[in-house]
Amino acid sequence: MQRRDLLRGLASAAALSLLPNERAFAAWTRVLTGPAPGNGLDTVQMALVRAVADTIIPRTDTPSATDVGVQDFVNVIVAEHAKDDERAAFLAGLAAIDARAVSSGGAPFAALAADARGKLVEELEKGKRDVEPAQSWWRLKGLVVHGYFTSEPVMKNVLKVEIMPGRFEGAAPIQIKKKPSGVAVPPSEEVHSHG
């Protein structure tokens, strides 16, 4: 299966849940219109998110996750849409992912070679999802995939989503159908003048 077919399959399976999401739209609008959040991810955390994003969705004949700015999407979601306890848990989870990378690969995730990243990802995805660092891995993976498929470049150029399908004809002529004369009007439609 080619990557493009896989992307289309994933997108079509999740399209209904992704497209109407106001939170994703608000986050992407914030990414495109404002500076990075002041209370967002630090440089080490951003490097980890970038590396994870491009490990999950690398550049091929379609853009990678970082090509469309998924790392900035994740940053805005964590900084501005997560509650304080959720943000703290997420940041602790990122630290746990990096600690696991150091213990198994000898370096933080962002510094690992592609094959070492792949091996760590396999380990994280084989284990139980409700324990760290796997729990944070799945949370981050969900944000990356969600951010990727709700990004404007992917929706327009990869998925070919038409926000307003068809052609807009603002000045299209309309025909008004008149009732033939001599047809009785039911009493409920009669116009009564009060005067």
Mean pLDDT rounded to a whole number for the chain: 80
pLDDT at 183 over 80: no
> Structural domain boundaries of the chain?
3-161
Q: DSSP 3-state assignment of 168?
A: coil
Q: Could you say which DSSP state residue 57 is in?
A: S
Which two structure tokens, joined as six digits, stand for 29? 């609008």
Q: Give residue-wise pLDDT tens across range 126-152.
A: 988 888 888 999 999 999 999 999 888
Nearest to residue 28, comparing CAs of 91, 73, 75? 73
- Do 14 and 149 meet the contact criterion of CB atoms below 8 Å apart? yes
pLDDT at 53 over 80: yes
The answer to which of 23-32, 99-108, 177-186 has the lowest mean pLDDT is 177-186
Contacts of 152 (CB under 8 A, 6+ apart): 28, 68
The residue ranking higher by pLDDT, 72 or 3, is 72
- Condensed to tens digits (0 to 9), the pLDDT of residues 64-77 reads 999 999 999 999 98
pLDDT for 18: 40
Classified as helix, coil or strand, 64 is coil
